[in-house]
Amino acid sequence: MIRDVGPLKERGLPTPFGLINLPSFEFPKGGRPQVDERRRRALKHVLATDLTRVLGFIPYVGGLIGGQIADLHSAEIHKILTQDEMSRFIEADKRIPLDTLALLYSFVR
């Protein structure tokens, strides 16, 4: 069972390059995201974009191949999601490092 921890407060992170301000983050209220067939297709493409990061470990050509595959999946994601879902996904993706978690987060809201 997940307990409600409330929002994470804004914090400053000292680094050798200066202070970096981390934004506040609020966990979504509610239960599981509603996932229908259309959203399931979007989740498959988002998961594929996350998995293409592994290709970056291949020397010389891994980044090129992974980038091309990720671009193809991103185009499909843009076709599948509605404009409102896409804007929530982009906003969540700025704060959440994995695209799959960001998309699930945007489905809950």
The answer to whether residue 22 sits within a structural domain is no
The answer to whether residue 26 sits within a structural domain is no
* pLDDT-based confidence at residue 49 (cuts at 50, 70, 90): very high
Q: What is the pLDDT of residue 56?
A: 86
What percent of the chain stands above pLDDT 90?
42
The answer to whether residue 43 sits within a structural domain is yes
The DSSP call for residue 30 is S
The answer to whether residue 102 sits within a structural domain is yes
Residue 7 has pLDDT above 80, yes or no: no
The answer to whether residue 8 sits within a structural domain is no
The answer to whether residue 71 sits within a structural domain is yes
Question: Domain of 87?
Answer: 35-108
The answer to whether residue 86 sits within a structural domain is yes
60-93 residue pLDDT tens: 899 899 999 999 999 999 999 999 999 999 998 8
Domain count, the chain: 1
The answer to whether residue 94 sits within a structural domain is yes
